[in-house]
Structure 1
Amino acid sequence: MFKERVLTALVLAPLMIIGIFFLPLKEFAIFIAAIATIGAWEWANIAGYQRNWSRIAYALVVFVCLYISARILKMYPEYLLGFLAVGTAWWVVAFALVKRYPGGTDLWAARPIRALLGLCVLVPMWVGFMHLKTQPHSSLLIVYVMLIVWGADTGAYFSGKKWGDTKLAPHVSPGKSWAGFWGGLATTLLIALVFGACVHTWVQPMDLHDAWRLLAITVITMVISVLGDLVESMMKRHRGIKDSSSLLPGHGGVLDRIDSMAAAVPVFAFFMLILDWGLVA
């Protein structure tokens, strides 16, 4: 299993690096849309659509929704905030669903409802990536969001392993603990401090107001990234499956790898707009 995980990571890492740093906007949009479409194929299974034709049909529906979103945002760029606001609002609803689980499943147990929730995850993710890609120093911003997710996950793993007696959401993901959450938060705050110092030194001056805005965006994004993982775990537990698919040997499915990013990216982009923070060219 470990060998499979390493080999898969060695293949995926260069692909992500090429996608983030070297693809122009249009090709990057197709790259992220392809990831979202594969994720949609997996989400269809999580939603309860087991036949291959129905999963492919759902993936095509998601792809068409991404295309429609792209056309709308090209003609009406002022709608961007609305797209991201809806995506962020979904995670507020998701928090309530996770908190109530295993209660409240009657609200979303129907397959069409779960399919609709997949759109709430995947379309805002794509929109968020596109917004970040159009920003100055876009690669740096995208990598920073990835570092937030990585920091939350890594800090949670080590602190949870050592002190994780009190469970964060025992009915959803028994492996997650409050110690892990606080460890992930501490790691993410450290990453934010290092990132802010690097930006101040090499990219642009940052005053105290800039630092507080960056810190606020980082903390909110970190919390939502944890929620993204919990939501997928809840959906898989309800469906009775361990992984979203077996596409990535040793890692499960694409959704198992991007669940936290799918939550983090649109929220990060949304609060960049709301708090008027960003990097200048």
Structure 2
Amino acid sequence: MTRTRILAALLMAPVAIAAVLMLNTPWMAAVSAIVFLAALWEWLRLSDVEDTLARSALLVLNLLLMVAIVWASATGGGSLVLLKMLAMVGVAWWLAAMLWLRHYDFASAPDARSRIVKLMAGTLAVIPAWAALCVIHASEDGGHGNRWLLLALAIVWATDTGAYFAGRRFGRRKLAPRISPNKTVEGLMGGVAAGVLVAVAFAPLAGATVAQLPLVALVAVLTVLASVVGDLFESLLKRHAGAKDSGTLIPGHGGVLDRIDSVLAALPVFAFGKIWLGF
């Protein structure tokens, strides 16, 4: 399984990097929408929407919402204001999700109320993350938006790697034993260290000045913490659904949602931090 996982990652990583660096923002928005909607499809299944027709209808509604957002932004002279506002909505949602994690049994019953709450959560997780991705990639301030987006993703990837190795080597204290028994406080610290190191090392390539590096490091810390919340929240959904993975599309990795759960939470925080602190 480990060999399959590594091979799949080696295939996916260059494709993702090439897409971020080579596609213009409209194409990046379209490609990422496909990926994010694929993750939402799996989210709907974890939310106990088993009927394919119902899931398809909900997916189309979210797609239409994306189209409406693009249309509204275009008719506003290509302004990113709406996308920025949605990214901020994403930050607010993930703050609320932290409270949900503290109350494990909330919406855990297999009933209509729980299903509706999780469906709303899916839209609040996916749409703002997609909007944040577009905002970062567009970088209307004249910066290298594609490089900033790659840096945001690299922070998440470094966090996963650092947390894995630090957790295996030093892990003692459980971070959230009821939600994800394998995660440890030591792993979290390793993830923070790796994420910040990557951010500070590569931010100058995206256009950051030396004076801005402390601000980049601060945003990196918040981005890492958000990515952990996203990972834990998907684990919570899987625990409620009694599922090991969100899907089987990616060999050795599970589903699309399993791969981008951290990204969904990290992108709005990174976008908000970049806008707020002005780098």
Q: Is the TM-score greater than 0.5?
A: yes
Say yes or no: does 1:90 pair with 2:108: no
Question: Which of 227, 242, 245 is matched with 2:244 structurally?
Answer: 242
Measured on the aligned residues, the alpha-carbon RMSD in Å equals: 2.0
- Equivalent AA in structure 1 for residue 42 of structure 2: E
How far apart in 2 are the matches of 1:20 and 1:204? 18
Query: How far off its partner does 1:249 sit?
Result: 1.5
Give the equivalent residue in structure 1 for 2:57.
57
What TM-score does the superposition give when structure 1 sets the normalisation length? 0.90
Which range moved further: 141-150 or 169-178? 141-150
SS in 2 for 1:252: coil
**64-73 or 123-132: which moved more?**
64-73
Q: Give the aligned partner of residue 22 of structure 1.
A: 22
Task: Mark the CA change 1:29 to 1:189 in structure 2 (over 3 Å): closer, same or farther.
Answer: closer
Gaps of 5+ in 1: none
CA deviations over 1:166-196 (Å, ceiling 9, x no partner): 1111111001010111111111222233124
Find the counterpart in structure 1 of residue 277 from structure 2. Answer: 275
Q: What is the percent sequence identity of the aligned residues?
A: 33
Q: Separation in 1 of the partners of 2:106 and 2:22?
A: 46
Counterpart pick for 1:227 among 226, 229, 232: 229
The residue type equivalent to 1:159 in the other structure is A
- Aligned to 1:174, what secondary structure does the other structure show? strand
Residue 103 of structure 2: aligned partner: 100
Residues 6 and 164 of structure 1: CA distance in aligned 2, closer, same or farther (over 3 Å): closer
Q: After TM superposition, give the deviation of residue 269 of structure 1 in Å.
A: 0.6
Cα separation, 1, equivalents of 2:190 and 2:112: 32
- How far apart are 1:220 and its partner, in Å? 0.6
Partner secondary structure for residue 110 of structure 1: helix
CA contact (8 A) 1:40 1:58 kept: no
Letter in 2 for 1:176: K
Q: Does 1:260 align with 2:267?
A: no
Asked whether the 8 Å contact 2:159–2:195 carries over to 1, the reply is yes
The verdict on how the C-alpha distance between 1:15 and 1:188 changes in structure 2, with shifts beyond 3 A counting, is closer
Change in Cα spacing, 1:18 to 1:188, as seen in structure 2 (3 Å) is closer
Q: What does 1:188-199 correspond to in 2, within 5 Å?
A: 188-196=195-203, 198-199=204-205
Cα 1:64–1:249 change in 2 (3 A) is same
- Distance in 1, Cα, partners of 2:209 & 2:85: 30
Secondary structure of 2:210's aligned partner: coil
Structure 2 CA distance for partners of 1:108 and 1:179, relative to 1, 3 Å: farther
**Which residue identity does 1:122 align to in structure 2?**
V
Change (3 A) 1:177 1:97: same
- Structure-2 separation of matches of 1:6 and 1:182: 24
148-157 or 230-239: which moved more? 148-157
Residue type at the aligned position of 1:93:
A
Corresponding residue for 1:175?
182
Q: How many residues align?
A: 272
Quick one: distance in 1 between partners of 2:233 and 2:8?
24
- Which runs of 5 or more structure 2 residues have no equivalent in the other structure? none
Measured after TM superposition, the shift of residue 143 of structure 1 is: 1.4
